[in-house]
Amino acid sequence: MSILEPACYLLFWILVPPLLPGIINRVKAKVAGRQGPPLLQLYYDLCKLWRKNIVLSTLASPGFLIAPTVAWVATLTAAMLIPLAGAGNINPFDGDVILMVYLLALARFCTAWGAMETGSAFEGMGTAREVSFAVLAEIGIITAMLTLIMHSGSITLVNMFIPLSGSNATLLAIGVFILLLAENCRVPFDDPTTHLELTMIHEVMVLDHSGPPWALILHGAAIKLMLFAIILVQIIFPVSEMPLGQSLLWLAGGVLAVTIAVGLVESLIARLAFRRVPLLLTIGFLFCLFPLLLTWMGMSYE
Amino acid sequence: MYEIITPILLLSFLCAMIGSLAAITLPRVWTILTLIALMSAFGAGCFVLFTHTSWQWESSFSLSETPVFLQLDALSSFFLLLLAVVAIAGTIYARSYWPDSRYPHSSVQGRLWWNLMLTGMVLVLIASNGLYFLLGWELFAVSAFFLITLDSHNPQVRNAGWLYLAASHAGTIVLFAFFTTLAVHTGSWELGPVTHLPELKPLFWLALLGFGIKAGIFPLHIWLPSAHANAPSHVSALLSGVALKIGMYGIIRFSGWLPLPTLAGWVLAGAGCTSAVLGVAFALGQHDLKRLLAYHSVENIGIILMGLGFGIVALEHGLPYWGILALAGGLLHIWNHGLFKALLFFGAGAVLQTTKTREMSTLGGLWRCMPWTAGLFALGSLAICGLPPLNGFVSEWLIYSGLLTASTLVTPLSLGAATIAVLLSITSALALACFIKVCGVVFLGAPRSRQAENAKECDWNMRTAMLVLAGACVTIGLLPTLVWPVLMRVASTWSPSALPNIPPALISLGNAHLLLAVLGVVTVLGMLVFVRNKIHRAPTWDCGYVRPTPRMQYTAGSFAGIITAWFSSILRPVTYQLRPTTFFPVKATDISHTPETVLKYLIQPVGRVFIVLGDLATSFQHGRIQSYILYLFMALLVLVGAVTMVHLW
């Protein structure tokens, strides 16, 4: 394996993800009948933020700058573990799926650490909510992965995505879509366009960041959205057995469809009442649990 | 080959004993001798583990016709290494944490009992004979009591000590029953594999109960939170890092030597799941820093049992690959928990020493005065949450790998494995919430009190102790392949054939950890250099935070509120609220507190029954001599009646 291959993956994961929030915003604008921001808005924002200065809270330690950086590295490393359709991933090994889930947890730890640095009631509230609801989200993710593992008989991410039966794939896709919305702080769990409401979860945690660290947080969020979208697409269309070019096209189309679906959900549904959030997360978990049980029963009757 | 270990261990023992004499007047000599003793024990342990030998030594000296028989094999050495590392760090730490200048009387006792406790634990580890095992066990249990109650002026400390002593002796009684039954069946006090005697199967439950009390398995953990919280911090570290593991040692040792009942593995794994999830749930409800850490010990003992229990389930299937992975993960977590928990207790001790409080909600913003402690505590937190690239993740990853591989089998076992995996993920997500709470409330934000504002960083002795442990955590995290041969040596306790090569996945994981560490360090340094001239300081913005006060920050209680509400039917938090009822602002109060529910609702009611019975018995004893003569007379009558009846029959 040459140095070129990892570099390609790295470039892909750095350059492509900021496109997704742009697509979502365009969909929302179209549904609302507005012109909307340019598709590449996030790229402009990131470049602008990278040149800006930082306003740091007087209470913040150096950890306030380190935490978003580590979170970004962790998210990026997690993303590198995800197989890209026929292209696979760089260094697959047994149990890389657990490493991926825990790298996302590391990113969460760092974001929460940064939020606690500022000593504000608002950000403390967001952190408390984020880490509490993350418990439910994490159960869902592990259950979804267990379904794939039980079905495919492999604990390596590259080999995990093989075709599920129609009903199982539908159930699991609904569950993972709910988790995608929750983990990426989209409507109906959270609203990425506002920071000012008391029902916020994730977005209040990053209120005090500015300049380059804020750029890393925005970029990390885009990577995470892309990561979940790619997992979701490969659950529905396991494209890894197609020829390379075709599978990548399918993957790109699928990710686009998921992104549009997120945009449509955001345009058509209002944010959930705060006390309902655990309920919806539990429903997401159940949508992942049923295919697990069905897979187990189906396979043990064979 | 192994004769060399005899003089090493003798040197260790002599240094420990002379050290305990020196402890009285010569603290510096004590430190040096204790360190020599521990290092030679460490050397002996390494020698056994890396040269594939085991050491045996039988003396002509005997007690009640039982000769002293000592043995250091892979399993004992595994625990001996942990003991040595944590105790070396603890000895250095104690020099500054419990100095003569501040505690003229109890510091002498502290040093003396420290050496005796270590000796007792080592004796337990190397005794190959039931009688000496129990002697070592008692020495260790009693000296731990004296160490916990070093600060005996404080009534809370005395209560915690008594609770510990009572629980510990309840365990000892069970172990007495266990060892004597074993001795009756085998005909001697000597310990060794007895798997050929299937009638001994039920003894495993007795061993699990007796050792489980020491290991702090839920719901036998009742002594643990108060003892760990009230002991001096270096003692807490030793208790949590090593003493609990001595209980685990008993369980592991006898799960290898006894014939196992059918459900043993599932019961262990089930106990592990309960301990893990409820341990961390109780931890979230605590406001006392050291009490919270103590509940995390319950949680981590649970994680260890998940791995070991599932590995023992695998034994029934001939110990396939997934069973080895789960066993290895459980074993490695024993080391890991010892290392990072001792580190966290040392950090908590540093905070306690300077601020004089364990109440988290009066702290805050300590990173400014204590950057070393804050940084090292953060490292320990990352490790205990099981986050890559540190050691906690390596052991959890091994357990997960075992569980996930087993769940690909299509048997009822795979559903069990999947359930344990989901519970393990809940545990680590809850642990993450809990340690964000601890780090955030104690070290970050604004100081909530004067003590927190004027805190002082701990001195170099204490920092060295923490750095040693932190270094061990990072090393195991980045180079996990180093420990695999050791784990396999220990796993041969159960099945001599369990010696596979290093799994390729573990090598890949090690590489991924190294890559992550390098990438993380480089990116962070790059970031810090990039922004060094771009920083302006201003008050926290937070959407227009006009007049911030430290009291507006989230406290330990409010942070954990959501999760403690989910678990409230088990945790039973006690809340006290004084709400304002008029239109104008008045004083309001909201206090919540999570008690030790098992103790309060289960053990104490049973205890009260015994107290009532005892009170009834005392009413017979009132000092009136006439009544006593009446008792004698009646007893005599009953006796005569009984004898006559027997004769007539």
Report the phi/psi class of residue A179: left, alpha or beta, with left for phi > 0 and alpha for psi in -120 to 50: alpha
The pLDDT confidence band at residue B136, using thresholds 50, 70 and 90, is: very high
* DSSP H or E run through B577: strand B574-578
Question: Are B238 and B87 contacting, i.e. CB atoms less than 8 angstroms apart?
Answer: yes
What digits encode the pLDDT tens for the residues B531-571? 999 999 888 887 777 777 888 888 888 899 899 989 988 88
- The C-alpha of B177 sits at a distance from chain A's nearest C-alpha, in angstroms, of 42
Phi, psi of A56 (to 5 degrees): -110, 135
Residues of chain B in contact with residue A59, where contact means CB-CB under 8 angstroms, are 365, 444-446, 540
Over residues A163-177, mean pLDDT: 90
- Report the residue of chain B nearest A142, measured CA to CA: B422
Residue A237 confidence (pLDDT): 83
Over residues A154-163, mean pLDDT: 88
Sequence-ordered list of residues with C-beta below 8 angstroms from that of A18, at least 6 positions apart, any chain: A40, A42, A43, A46, A218, A219, A222
Nearest to B536 among A54, A131, A153 (CB): A54
The pLDDT confidence band at residue B397, using thresholds 50, 70 and 90, is: very high
SS3 B593: strand
- Rounded CA separation A193/A267 (Å): 12
Tell if the CB–CB gap between B440 and A73 is shorter than 8 Å. no
Residue B417 confidence (pLDDT): 93
Give the residues across from B591 on adjacent strands. Answer: B576
Residue B70 confidence (pLDDT): 87
Over residues A98-115, mean pLDDT: 94
Burial classification of residue B613, based on how many CB atoms lie within 10 Å of its CB (0-12 exposed, 13-18 middle, 19 or more buried): exposed
Asked if residue B493 has pLDDT above 80, the reply is no
- Rounded CA separation B71/B2 (Å): 11
Asked if residue B499 has pLDDT above 80, the reply is no
Asked if residue B634 has pLDDT above 90, the reply is yes
SS3 B574: strand
The CA-atom distances, in angstroms, between B258 and each of A238, B125, B244, B318, B429 are: 49, 17, 21, 17, 36
Phi, psi of B287 (to 5 degrees): -110, -5
Residues of chain A in contact with residue B437, where contact means CB-CB under 8 angstroms, are 128, 131
- The C-alpha of B336 sits at a distance from chain A's nearest C-alpha, in angstroms, of 17
Residue B49 confidence (pLDDT): 87
Residue A196 confidence (pLDDT): 61
Asked if residue A33 has pLDDT above 80, the reply is yes
Quote the percentage of chain B above a pLDDT of 90.
Answer: 60
Asked if residue A195 has pLDDT above 70, the reply is no
- Rounded CA separation B360/B289 (Å): 6
- Rounded CA separation B98/B88 (Å): 15
DSSP state, residue B190: B
Which of A118, A152, A205, A301 is most worth mutating to test chain B (most B CB atoms within 10 A of its CB)?
A118
Residue B242 confidence (pLDDT): 94
CA angle B346/B349/B354 to nearest 5° reads: 135
Tell if the CB–CB gap between B432 and A117 is shorter than 8 Å. no
Which of A99, A156, A219 is most worth mutating to test chain B (most B CB atoms within 10 A of its CB)?
A99
Residues of chain B in contact with residue A101, where contact means CB-CB under 8 angstroms, are 425
State pTM to two decimals.
0.94
Distance of alpha carbon B343 from the chain centroid: 12
Tell if the CB–CB gap between B520 and A70 is shorter than 8 Å. yes
Residue B2 confidence (pLDDT): 67
| Residue B148 in tokens | 């916990």
- Rounded CA separation B422/B420 (Å): 5
Tokens 């004893």: give the residue: B621
- Rounded CA separation B111/B35 (Å): 12
Residues of chain B in contact with residue A70, where contact means CB-CB under 8 angstroms, are 520, 523-524
Asked if residue A29 has pLDDT above 60, the reply is yes
- Rounded CA separation A11/B636 (Å): 97
Residue B632 confidence (pLDDT): 93
| Residue B312 in tokens | 């023992």
DSSP state, residue B502: P
- Rounded CA separation B237/B534 (Å): 42
DSSP state, residue B576: E
Strands B535-538 and A54-57: parallel
The pLDDT confidence band at residue A86, using thresholds 50, 70 and 90, is: low
- The C-alpha of A199 sits at a distance from chain B's nearest C-alpha, in angstroms, of 14
* Cα dihedral B404→B406→B407→B413 (10° resolution): -140
Least trusted range by pLDDT, from A261-270, B344-353, B585-594, B600-609: B585-594
- Rounded CA separation B99/B95 (Å): 6
Higher pLDDT, A129 or B54: A129
Tell if the CB–CB gap between A299 and B410 is shorter than 8 Å. yes
Question: Are B581 and A246 contacting, i.e. CB atoms less than 8 angstroms apart?
Answer: no
Which of A94, A198, A200 is most worth mutating to test chain B (most B CB atoms within 10 A of its CB)?
A94
Runs of H (alpha helix) within B52-129: 74-97, 106-126
- The C-alpha of B430 sits at a distance from chain A's nearest C-alpha, in angstroms, of 6
Residue A198 confidence (pLDDT): 64
Nearest to B407 among A127, A146, A300 (CB): A146
* DSSP H or E run through A5: helix A4-15
Residue B40 confidence (pLDDT): 92
Asked if residue B196 has pLDDT above 70, the reply is yes
Question: Are A32 and A173 contacting, i.e. CB atoms less than 8 angstroms apart?
Answer: no
Asked if residue B507 has pLDDT above 60, the reply is yes
Higher pLDDT, B371 or B67: B371
Other CB atoms within 10 A of residue B493 CB: 20
- The C-alpha of A33 sits at a distance from chain B's nearest C-alpha, in angstroms, of 30
Three-state helix/strand/coil letters over B227-279:
HHHHCCHHHHHHHHHHHHHHHHHHHHHHHHHCCCCCCHHHHHHHHHHHHHHHH
Residues of chain B in contact with residue A117, where contact means CB-CB under 8 angstroms, are 444-445
Over residues A81-110, mean pLDDT: 88
Asked if residue A1 has pLDDT above 60, the reply is no
Residue A302 confidence (pLDDT): 62
The pLDDT confidence band at residue A199, using thresholds 50, 70 and 90, is: low
Over residues B334-359, mean pLDDT: 94
Question: Are B160 and B230 contacting, i.e. CB atoms less than 8 angstroms apart?
Answer: yes
Tell if the CB–CB gap between B422 and A52 is shorter than 8 Å. no
Residue type, B407: S
Give the residues across from B67 on adjacent strands. Answer: B62
The pLDDT confidence band at residue A197, using thresholds 50, 70 and 90, is: low
Asked if residue B644 has pLDDT above 80, the reply is yes
- Report the residue of chain A nearest B552, measured CA to CA: A121
Sequence-ordered list of residues with C-beta below 8 angstroms from that of B551, at least 6 positions apart, any chain: B448
Distance of alpha carbon B341 from the chain centroid: 8
Question: Are B42 and B78 contacting, i.e. CB atoms less than 8 angstroms apart?
Answer: no
Asked if residue B167 has pLDDT above 70, the reply is yes
Sequence-ordered list of residues with C-beta below 8 angstroms from that of B338, at least 6 positions apart, any chain: B82, B85, B86, B241, B242, B245
The pLDDT confidence band at residue B369, using thresholds 50, 70 and 90, is: very high
Average pLDDT, chain B: 90
Asked if residue B195 has pLDDT above 80, the reply is yes
Residues of chain B in contact with residue A153, where contact means CB-CB under 8 angstroms, are 408
Report the phi/psi class of residue B542: left, alpha or beta, with left for phi > 0 and alpha for psi in -120 to 50: left
- The C-alpha of A90 sits at a distance from chain B's nearest C-alpha, in angstroms, of 11
What is the residue extent of each domain of chain B?
A: 602-648
Residue type, A55: V
The CA-atom distances, in angstroms, between B520 and each of A141, B51, B65, B349 are: 25, 37, 62, 30
Other CB atoms within 10 A of residue A288 CB: 26
- The C-alpha of A54 sits at a distance from chain B's nearest C-alpha, in angstroms, of 5
| Residue B150 in tokens | 């070093």
